[in-house]
Amino acid sequence: MKEFENIKKDFPIFTREVNSKKLTYLDSGATAQKPQSVIDAMNDVYTNKNANVHRGTYVLSAETTKLYEDVRIKCKNFLNAYHSDEIIFTKGATEGFNFLANSIAKKYLKPGDEILLTEIEHHANIIPWQMVAKQYQLEIKYIAIDEDFSVDMEDLKRKISNKTKIVSITGESNLSGLLPNIKLIRELVKETCDAIFILDGAQLVPHRKVDVQDLGIDFIVFSGHKLLGPTGIGVVWGKLDLLNELEPVSGGGDMIEEVYFDRATWAPVPHKFEAGTPPYVEAIGLGAAIDYLENITMEKVSNHSDQLRKYGQEIFSDIDKVNVIHTNEEFAGCTFSMHVDNIHATDVSLMLDTYGVAVRAGHHCVQPFHRKLGIDATFRATAYIYNDKDDLDVFKDALVSSIEMLG
């Protein structure tokens, strides 16, 4: 696509070399690189407008507050949410899940209630639920994954019940690239119970157009840094009626309405969930990232991902000694996790770095999924809008050479 031919020029990091080689960055599943427009937007605040938001009657504060609050509107439109007040800013997806788990459990859950996850969830969508399960005597059940890494719908039907109060699943696997059929899963859940449905959008939102109204979900959580934005900013979207019912889990300035020595009352949604000085510069950077993606259009972003994914399937399928973990579903993310016979993933990753190729090695915060597969680690190549077929070719050639040297 024409939009992607010269896109690397928008990202200053691609002007550098690594180990005397052109940088081939294939670790966007961990964090995306930043376009100059995002860097400029944040620098502009610090250089020309910086002031704390919501608290000043002077020009700088008013300007920064407007920029900050405008990002809620951008996020609302980006997700096709109902109201901008449904957008809660967090430090990232992990904080978002901790907020939801603690606030929902305190408000709605009782001993014996069940939480339903899948076997491919990121630790951020497991550990907060484990913590509240222990505190409130809840039970967690995990939907099994088929041999082709897809969600086992029959197992879902077996495990869903009127005891199920929370269903929280990933929108895109960060290991296999699987895109679960969220609408179908949501319908199956609704046939049995009225569970709160939460979507982990950390990998999904950067690559696909997400319409929360069309999906019929109750909450979605995602991070800014995987979306071309900065670290330190994330988003929780939730239906306004549910948010109005939930209690804050963090207290302090800016989230209150009135404070007395013996009690306090909360500000309206969304501010009651945003205690203290918010990451307003990071939020403004996220807004610039959304602008960048919207200018391309998410349809073209997802088409580009699909084209790279299909090319990757072709060229990675016949590399000697390499085992590829990737779903066979028709649509999936451009995520290829691999392990090599008798060579540790970290050694492969270190060798690839000598060729200027950046991939991630480890369990990628999906350790239970790795255990299910009977392996302790993989190395993972994840592509984004600034990658092209040449990057995948460089990766393959470097991988073949690395295996020859290590084997």
Task: Give residue-wise pLDDT tens across range 119-161.
Answer: 999 999 999 999 999 999 999 999 999 988 899 999 999 999 9
Residues with a known catalytic role: 365
Residue 128 lies in a domain: yes
CB atoms < 10 A from the CB of 106, how many?
14
State the Cα–Cα distance between residues 154 and 369, nearest whole angstrom. 19
Residue 83 lies in a domain: yes
For residues 6 and 46, membership in a common domain is answered with: no
Residue 183 structural domain: 40-295
CATH number at residue 323: 3.90.1150.10
Question: Can you state the percent helix, strand and coil of the chain, rounding each to 5?
Answer: 45, 20, 35
For residues 275 and 311, membership in a common domain is answered with: no
For residues 9 and 157, membership in a common domain is answered with: no
Res. 1: pLDDT tops 70? no
Residue 52 lies in a domain: yes
Cα dist from 121 to 42, 58, 175, whole Å: 32, 46, 10
For residues 110 and 26, membership in a common domain is answered with: no
For residues 83 and 215, membership in a common domain is answered with: yes
For residue range 275-323, list pLDDT tens digits in order: 999 999 999 999 999 999 999 999 999 999 999 999 999 999 989 999 9
For residues 228 and 314, membership in a common domain is answered with: no
Q: pTM above 0.85?
A: yes
Pairing of strands 322-325, 264-266: unpaired
For residues 345 and 334, membership in a common domain is answered with: yes
Count structural domains, the chain: 2
Structural domain ending residue among the three candidates 232, 262, 295 = 295
Structural domain ending residue among the three candidates 295, 323, 352 = 295
For residues 68 and 137, membership in a common domain is answered with: yes
Say if residues 23 and 17 touch (Cβ distance below 8 Å). Answer: yes
Res. 44: pLDDT tops 70? yes
For residues 268 and 319, membership in a common domain is answered with: no
pLDDT at 148: 85
Residue 35 lies in a domain: no
Number of H helices, E strands in the chain: 13, 17
